[in-house]
Structure 1
Amino acid sequence: MEVNMYDLLILGMLMAHDYSGYKLGHVLGEVLVPRRKLSNGVIYPLLDRLEQEGYITSAECEINGRRTKMMHITDAGRERFYALMAQPVAEDAKRADVYRFKFRGFGQIGPDEQKHILDEYCHSIQNDLDHYRHAQTKMVHEAEKYPDQQAHYQWAGNTIVLQIEMCEAQLAWANAQIAAIKAEE
């Protein structure tokens, strides 16, 4: 079963404390990649579904003189959060977001689970890095065959270098997190 990244993020946030639907929407908007927004037409149906499935409850309360609906995670929601954290991450277009959302939930899981997720992340990023390095080698050979297309191959190669450097930075970050977790044990 695929990790539902929005369920993971919402339940992870509610593991820390209760939120209003408005505040959840605001925080979710800050967590997503810039320029990718979650509208109320997305967030409230997600919250309704999570409540219908028994993962969260809501209660009306008054905050600063205003009535608002506060969301609270249930025991079933906690179990669902832990199950989502334990699921492998699919190698698809959502992979980066799912890992980022899992990392945000690290305060709610133990160091062994954290290391396991980080190890999976490193393996995934290393596969990407190997792919880009292979593509870089292939690009050099292609450029030699077609000297009249140097500008094309130069920019294609520059793009691959960017991908390689991003992968290297991600691996360095993940390895630093693993080292920090091990140092605390």
Structure 2
Amino acid sequence: MYELFALGELRTGDKHGYMLQEVLKRIGTVRAISSGTLYPLLSRLTDEGSIHLRLEEETEGGRPKKIYSLTESGRERFAALMAKPLAHNAETALVFRIKMVYFRYVPKTVRLACLTQYLDYLRGQREYVSRFERQLIAAQPEPEIQRIQLLRTLDHRKHMGAADLDWVRAEIARVEASDPDEAQG
């Protein structure tokens, strides 16, 4: 996930590590990336040849500023990660949001595949919640007040899921109607 983010963000232009940390905060993630995760990732991507490290003038602390840029190999790796099917796990929604940020850099077919995969994920989540709700109603566990609140929580999840499903369906229709090369960079 962080590799996709780093390569995607460098796809938009050269950046230094601190800026990558700041951008990740702004794309709607609740998870911050620590320096202990980001810089080893950037080192690995540099060693693999996916990104290029350039040192610029010294900062106030006397250390040179490290600027990262995407290489052709990095562009290919980014495209492969964008085309990789979404896994259905705890990070699916986050990976989807990261991919959406960089849709402009991939073909329409990749955007549609990702949206369709996310639609399938949302449908699976809706079915899971509905099944759990039916089981809870049938079993009627105690205490009643907790069961009632849990049913309210499930109702909330169903409403949020319905809104997500509607949005993704509309986005699929919008992308399908768009020019095949629209918004590619």
- TM-score, normalised with respect to structure 1: 0.86
Code of the residue aligned with 1:55 in structure 2: it is S
Unaligned runs of at least 5 residues, structure 2: 180-185
Distance in 2 of aligned mates of 1:6 and 1:32: 14
Residue 106 of structure 1 corresponds to 103
The correspondence for 2:126, drawn from 121, 126, 129, is 129
Report the alpha carbon displacement of residue 154 of structure 1 after superposing the two structures with TM. Answer: 0.4
Moved more, 22-31 or 65-74: 65-74
Aligned-residue CA RMSD (Å): 2.1
Do the aligned partners of 2:86 and 2:114 also contact (CA within 8 Å) in 1? no
Distance in 2 of aligned mates of 1:44 and 1:19: 13
Distance in 2 of aligned mates of 1:141 and 1:15: 52
Distance in 2 of aligned mates of 1:178 and 1:139: 34
Distance in 1 of aligned mates of 2:167 and 2:12: 24
2:143 aligned counterpart, secondary structure: helix
Residue 83 of structure 1 corresponds to 80
Code of the residue aligned with 1:23 in structure 2: it is M
1:173 aligned counterpart, secondary structure: helix
The correspondence for 1:181, drawn from 172, 175, 185, is 175
Distance in 1 of aligned mates of 2:123 and 2:58: 48
1:112 aligned counterpart, secondary structure: helix
Residue 165 of structure 1 corresponds to 159
2:88 aligned counterpart, secondary structure: coil
Moved more, 114-123 or 86-95: 86-95
Report the alpha carbon displacement of residue 11 of structure 1 after superposing the two structures with TM. Answer: 0.4
Distance in 1 of aligned mates of 2:19 and 2:99: 20
1:69 aligned counterpart, secondary structure: strand
Distance in 1 of aligned mates of 2:156 and 2:58: 47
Find out whether 1:93 has 2:90 as its counterpart.
yes
Distance in 1 of aligned mates of 2:99 and 2:76: 15
Q: Deviations over 1:122-170 (max 9, x none)?
A: 0111011011112222222223xx6x63212201111111221221122
Matches within 5 A, 1:24-173: 24-31=20-27, 33-34=29-30, 36-62=31-57, 67-143=64-140, 149-173=143-167
Q: Deviations over 1:88-120 (max 9, x none)?
A: 122222222211111111010111211111001
Distance in 2 of aligned mates of 1:63 and 1:109: 36
Change (3 A) 1:30 1:63: farther
Report the alpha carbon displacement of residue 58 of structure 1 after superposing the two structures with TM. Answer: 1.0
Q: Determine what percentage of the aligned residue pairs are the same residue.
A: 31
Unaligned runs of at least 5 residues, structure 1: none
Report the alpha carbon displacement of residue 33 of structure 1 after superposing the two structures with TM. Answer: 2.8
Residue 7 of structure 1 corresponds to 3
1:131 aligned counterpart, secondary structure: helix
Q: Which has the higher helix share?
A: 1
Distance in 2 of aligned mates of 1:166 and 1:16: 31
